[in-house]
Amino acid sequence: AGTLEVDDEEDPRERERKARAAEKQSKQEKLQADRKLLPMYPFREPLLEAIAEHQVLIIVGETGSGKTTQIPQYLHEAGYSKAGKIGCTQPRRVAAMSVAARVAEEVDVKLGQEVGYSIRFEDCTSDKTILKYMTDGMLLREFLGEPDLASYSVMMVDEAHERTLHTDVLFGLVKDIARFRPDIKLLISSATLDAEKFSDYFDHAPIFRIPGRRYPVDIMYTKAPEANYLHAAVVTALQVHVTQPAGDVLIFLTGQEEIEAAEELLKQRTKGLGSRIGELMIAPIYANLPSDLQSKIFEVTPPGARKIVLATNIAETSLTIDGIKYVIDPGFVKQNSYNPRSGMESLVVTPVSQASANQRAGRAGRTSPGKCFRLYTAWSYQNELDENTVPEIQRTNLGNVVLMLKSLGINDLMGFDFMDPPPTETLLRALEQLYALGALNDRGELTKLGRRMAEFPLDPMLAKMIINSETYGCSEEVATVAAMVSTGNSIFYRPKDKAVHADNAHNNFHRGSPGDHIALMNVFNGWADTNFSTQWCYENFVQMRSMKRARDIRDQVLGLMERVEVAVISDRSNEENIKKAIASGFFYHTAKLAKSGADYRTVKNPQTVHVHPQSGLIEVRPKWVIYHELVQTSKEFMRTISEIKPSWLTEIAPHYYSKREVEDAADKKLPKGQGKAGLDGAA
Ligand code: ADP
Ligand code: MG
């Protein structure tokens, strides 16, 4: 017995170590076995042969077949990584992160080592990285430092069917590279069967098709249009839960706010039901969901339970979630929309295309037959939905991309080899705006200022505001503002049961109505002054996560400022100068209170716009404002606004605003009936 006891004392640690090692090994074995079950696997050898034979290859395969996670690994296993990195672009940041994490697991390395990812404001790579996932926007930035992509042996432009702005621009750039770098391999992969267009564009590159495995999906339509699709989606999900056999549910919504509302509604509706229904696991996924929460969508559903994934169209093709059997598709997506004539750019909830609706439905039939509930009528599908989604390049502002292309020395933008060219008017508008910002000279060439602006992975207006802030003596404050508006997340939160407390706390930041930009700065400074305390966020009803992101972005902005030699100067108290610095970048986004006092009119190309209900200036209604962005929901709203003096506009942008445009009727004291026509036309 004595010996046994001694053994026992030594054993537990050893046993535990062995158990862990065994568990790890079996997990790794399972991962490797799963890789072999993917539809891609039987085509490993023929694919590698095709790649060896052709410089450019178009690869088509249904979502979930293993293109994104497997092809870079196959290439690595076949030795391509000896000659350089293997890059793979993704249109979405969440996909880049999530796929890299998965591949790191499969390769059995720590994420950020041999397998890494790079997204805006976050570089998770090292010297060791050989498989690099990145957003298409990041690869575009890499061109600035490495115009021939010399460090890569293979570049895979993935999810090509999404036709994001950055992917479309990449097409032109990589096509060019292929011509003078015969050693680089170029893969264009896509989930749509219509690959001829890609092939034609890439000088008739061969198409490699991976046959899909797809089970039938029953498609159900509503009899009449739904007045409230969010509500209808939740009700449908619960009906599925109560009446349908096992299988997870995927609901397509348009953004974080909707997803949060749906989550809340689902919880409310199931509260009283207790054990009468099976357990529900609610898993949200959207672009700005913190990465530690993203993996929830991949958690295996325990028997008897059901997972409901609430996703933006990121789950349409970029991410594959196993186990989905029911898809609920309200038929909407949030999209950029841009009117080059007025310069108005906004995010709009619009009906999806038929192609998109079919992709969504396909998500239900990946591993077994499934059902798709379309929350619109069959008639509407046939008659109201466009056949295909318009490529982003044709419905967005091109300021940033034009600045980048100019920095790459591409001067003739009209002659650039676009797969689908942007509207000429949009290109001209971007050139005109960059000229107004001082990034281009009157011959359309990049100026010194433009070169500095291009260093910032930000909208040209933000870049200009940051660079100019030095002359206003408040560059540190402006960096803070830039970071806060770039988080993409909501900063404030307002729990229903503590709404009054939350409002009081938030009102503190707006005390004296300094405007939303300064209020955002106050939030950051308040947090920084408490040494970034969690408690402070809690007490002030501020989202800690958004703040951490703002801090990261701010650090990067400060780093870039150093690189382009913008001195960091601080003057917190001079709010007028801070606002002037902001206006020096955002003089394009100016609006004036309408005579009626009910709404605002943009100053150039007059359009009616409104103060966003969450603005601190909603009651104040200053006469002249600048706004950060427009969002269109029920109306066209200006989000994040500050009051300005009209005289600043002629001071800051004399080339853009004439005195007449920024005069106030009241200041002119015209006799009744006179001068009205001129003012209405301009203001
Ligand atoms: P494709 O690019 O062809 O759409 P992927 O390579 O993205 O296919 O996906 C192949 C498989 O890997 C899918 O079954 C998917 O569920 C799985 N997978 C991908 N990313 C993850 C992840 N982060 N966690 C768990 N499984 C994942
Ligand atoms: Mg993929």
pLDDT in tens, 6-54: 455 567 788 888 888 888 888 999 999 999 999 999 999 999 999 999 9
The yes-or-no verdict on residue 519 having pLDDT over 80 is: yes
Which residues sit opposite 630 in a β-bridge?
346, 638
Ligand 1 pocket mutation pick from 69, 73, 209, 321 by most atoms within 8 angstroms of CB: 69
Q: Which of 418, 295, 313 is nearest to 357 (CA)?
A: 313
Give the pLDDT confidence score for residue 347 in this predicted structure: 82
* Cα(125)–Cα(129) distance, integer angstroms: 6
Cα 146 from chain centroid (whole Å): 24
Is residue 87 within 6 Å of ligand 1 at its C-beta?
Answer: no
For ligand 1, is residue 61 a contact (CB within 6 Å)? yes
Q: Enumerate the H helices of 38-164 as residue ranges.
A: 44-53, 67-77, 93-107, 136-145
The percent of residues above 70 in pLDDT, for the chain, comes to 95
For the cut 90, the answer to whether the pLDDT of residue 391 exceeds it is: yes
Contact 396, 429 (CB under 8 A): no
Strand 600-602 relative to strand 608-611, pairing: antiparallel
Q: Span 293-313, mean pLDDT?
A: 92
Residue 490's pLDDT is 83
Instruction: Report the C-alpha gap between 95 and 267 in whole angstroms.
Output: 27
Instruction: Please state, as a whole number, how many other Cβ atoms lie within 10 Å of the Cβ of residue 529.
Output: 10
Ligand 1 touching residue 39 (CB < 6 A): no
Give the Å distance between the CA of 483 and the centre of ligand 2.
31
Q: Which of 125-129, 296-300, 491-495 is modeled with the greatest confidence?
A: 125-129
Ligand 1 contact via 320 beta carbon (within 6 Å) = yes
294 Cβ inside 6 Å of ligand 1: no
Atom number, ligand 1, closest to the C-alpha of residue 65? 3
Measure CA 90 to chain center.
11
pLDDT greater at residue 2 or residue 419: 419
pLDDT digits (tens, 9 = 90+) for 498-510: 999 999 999 999 9
> Tens digit of pLDDT for each residue in 395-423?
999 999 999 999 999 989 999 999 999 99
pLDDT value for 523: 97
Q: What SS3 class is residue 496? A: helix
From residue 664, how far is each of 592, 645, 661 by CA, in Å? Answer: 10, 10, 9
Q: Indicate which residue's Cα is closest to atom 22 of ligand 1.
A: 102
Instruction: Please give the mean pLDDT across all residues of the chain.
Output: 91
Average pLDDT over residues 561-583: 95
CA distances from 672 to 649, 665, 666, 668 (A): 27, 10, 11, 11
Judged against a pLDDT cut of 80, whether residue 276 lies above it is answered with no
pLDDT at 664: 66
Residue 264: which residues within 8 A CB-CB, separation 6 or more? none
- C-alpha–C-alpha distance, residues 302 and 448, integer Å: 59
Residue 415 tokens read as 């002659």
Q: Which residues contact 503 (CB under 8 A, 6 or more apart)?
A: 494
**Distance from C-alpha of 389 to C-alpha of 353, rounded to nearest angstrom:** 5
Check: CB of residue 104 under 8 Å from CB of residue 115. Answer: yes
Answer yes or no: are the C-beta atoms of 220 and 372 closer than 8 Å. Answer: yes
pLDDT at 683 over 50: no
Q: Which residue in 412, 425, 419, 367 sits closest to 392, CA to CA? A: 419
Site to probe by mutation for ligand 1, drawn from 59, 320, 322 as the one with most ligand atoms within 8 Å of Cβ, is 320
Nearest alpha carbon to residue 403 among 464, 334, 342: 464
Torsion over CA: 395, 401, 406, 410 (sign): negative
Q: Which atom of ligand 1 is nearest to the CA of 99?
A: 20
Residue 392 is given by DSSP the state: G
The answer to whether 579 and 522 are in contact (CB under 8 A) is no
Verify whether ligand 1 is closer than 6 Å to residue 64 (CB atom).
yes
Residue 659 has pLDDT above 90, yes or no: no
Pocket of ligand 1 contains residue 322 by CB under 6 Å: yes
- What counts of helices (H) and strands (E) characterise the chain? 26, 21
In the chain, % of residues over pLDDT 90: 77
Confidence of residue 628 (pLDDT cuts 50, 70, 90): very high
On the question of pLDDT at 671 being above 50, the answer is no
CB 540 near ligand 1, within 6 Å: no
Query: 22: part of which helix (H) or strand (E)?
Result: helix 2-37
pLDDT in tens, 221-254: 999 999 999 999 999 999 999 999 999 999 999 9
pLDDT at 345: 79
- Give the span between the Cα atoms of 13 and 10, in whole angstroms: 7
Out of 102, 162, 301, mutate this one to test ligand 1's pocket (max ligand atoms within 8 Å of CB): namely: 102
Q: Which two tokens stand for residue 139?
A: 């690869």
CA dist list (Å): 78 to 45, 64, 72, 75, 186: 10, 22, 10, 5, 16
Q: What is the pLDDT of residue 288?
A: 81
pLDDT at 100 over 90: yes
- pLDDT tens for 137-170 read 999 999 999 999 999 999 999 999 999 999 999 9
Q: Are 510 and 616 in contact (CB under 8 A)?
A: yes
| pLDDT value at 496 more than 90 | no
Give the C-alpha separation, 97 to 90, whole Å: 9
For residues 455-459, average pLDDT:
93
Distance 257 CA to ligand 1 centre (A): 26
